[in-house]
C-alpha cells in the first residue's frame, strides 16, 4: 500500500494523475486528508468534513467481476473491523452506510472505471471519529461519543489501513457476506426511498439483502429487487 497524507484538500477523490500512475495490480494507493473543503457524497452531495475525522480514498486495480459487489464488500470489511477493534456492532444501511442506534457513523462513495480485464476502483470513505457531522438529512454520531473517549486519528488510520491492505484482495463468498450483513441490516421503511422510472421518490419496506448484493424490498404490495444506484 502506498499511503499519502495531506493536511487539507478539496476532496480525497481528486487524486493527481502523477499519483494514479503509481497504482498497479494488487497494490493500493490511499489518499488521506485531515480536512476536506469540498468533500462529496453520492450524487455529488456536499459532504461536510471538519477536522477530527478520517477522510480517505483508496484506489486499486482488480478483477472487473467484482464491480457490482466491491461496495458491499468494503462495508462488510469495515463492519468487521470495528466489531473486532472496538466491539462495536454497527447497523448496515444498504448500500453504503454504517449506523449506530439510528445515527450515521460512516459513509462510502465508489467510482469505477473498466480497463480491459481489470477495473479501477476508487473508494472514498468518511468516518466520524472525534466529531459528528451536522446534516439535516440524517442524524449522526462519532466513535468518540460511542466509546466515551477521544480517538487518536493516526493510530486508527494506521490500524485500519493495515486491515484493509490485508483483506481487500481476498476471494470472498457472496453468500457468507450477505448472511453476515443481513443480521445487521436496517429494515426501517422510512430510511429508504427508491427512484422509479417516473423519477418520483417513494418509500419502500426493506426485506433483505440478496446473495448478489441487490436489495429485496416491498413497494405497496409488490416485492421487488433493486440494485446499487437505484435509490438515493
- Divide the 232 residues of the chain into consecutive groups of 10 and give the mean pLDDT of each group: 81 73 80 72 57 90 86 96 96 94 91 82 92 77 95 95 93 93 84 52 83 90 81 58
Report the topology of domain 2-182: BirA Bifunctional Protein; domain 2 (3.30.930)
Domain residue ranges of the chain, discontinuous segments joined by +: 2-182, 189-226
87, 104, 207, 232 from 101: Cα distances, Å: 15, 8, 19, 21
Structure confidence at residue 22 (pLDDT) = 75
The confidence score (pLDDT) of residue 216 equals: 93
Residue 93 has a CB neighbour count (10 Å cut-off) of: 23
pLDDT value of position 36: 67
What pLDDT, on a 0 to 100 scale, did the predictor assign at position 45? 55
pLDDT, position 52: 87
**What are the tens digits of pLDDT across the range 17-75?**
777 777 776 789 898 888 866 555 554 555 556 788 999 999 998 888 888 899 999 99
What does R_g of the chain's alpha carbons equal in angstroms? 17
Give the model's pLDDT for residue 93.
92
Q: What per-residue string of b and e applies to 3-27 under the rule 16 or more CB within 10 Å gives b?
A: eeeeeebebbbebeeeeeeebeeee
Distance CA 154, CA 145 (A): 18
Asked if 176 contacts 167 with a C-beta cutoff of 8 angstroms, the reply is no
Residue 34: the pLDDT is 83
DSSP percent split of the chain into helix, strand, coil, nearest 5: 25, 35, 40
Per the CB < 8 A criterion, the answer to whether 163 and 81 are in contact is yes
Report how far residue 186's alpha carbon sits from residue 195's, in angstroms, rounded to the nearest whole number: 19
Amino acid at each position: 500500500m502506498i499511503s499519502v497524507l495531506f493536511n487539507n484538500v478539496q476532496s480525497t477523490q481528486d487524486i493527481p494523475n502523477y499519483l494514479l500512475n503509481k497504482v498497479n495490480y494488487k497494490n493500493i494507493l490511499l489518499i488521506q486528508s485531515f480536512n476536506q473543503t469540498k468533500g462529496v457524497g453520492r450524487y455529488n452531495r456536499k459532504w461536510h468534513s471538519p477536522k477530527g475525522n478520517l477522510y480517505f480514498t483508496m484506489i486499486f486495480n482488480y478483477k472487473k467481476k467484482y464491480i457490482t459487489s466491491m461496495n458491499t464488500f468494503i462495508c462488510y470489511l469495515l463492519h468487521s473491523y470495528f466489531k473486532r477493534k472496538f466491539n462495536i456492532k454497527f447497523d448496515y444501511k444498504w448500500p453504503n452506510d454504517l449506523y449506530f442506534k439510528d445515527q450515521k457513523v460512516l459513509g462510502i462513495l465508489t467510482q469505477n472505471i473498466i480497463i480491459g480485464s481489470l477495473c479501477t476502483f476508487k473508494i472514498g470513505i468518511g468516518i466520524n471519529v472525534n466529531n459528528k457531522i451536522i446534516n439535516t438529512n440524517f442524524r449522526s454520531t462519532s466513535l468518540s461519543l460511542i466509546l466515551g473517549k477521544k480517538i487518536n486519528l493516526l493510530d486508527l488510520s494506521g490500524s485500519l489501513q493495515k486491515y484493509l491492505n490485508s483483506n481487500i484482495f481476498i476471494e470472498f463468498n457472496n453468500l457468507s457476506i450477505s448472511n453476515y450483513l443481513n443480521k445487521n441490516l436496517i429494515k426501517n421503511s422510512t430510511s429508504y426511498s427508491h427512484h422509479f422510472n417516473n423519477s418520483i421518490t417513494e418509500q419502500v419496506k426493506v426485506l433483505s439483502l440478496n446473495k448478489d448484493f441487490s436489495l429485496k424490498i416491498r413497494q405497496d404490495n409488490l416485492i421487488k429487487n433493486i440494485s446499487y444506484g437505484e435509490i438515493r
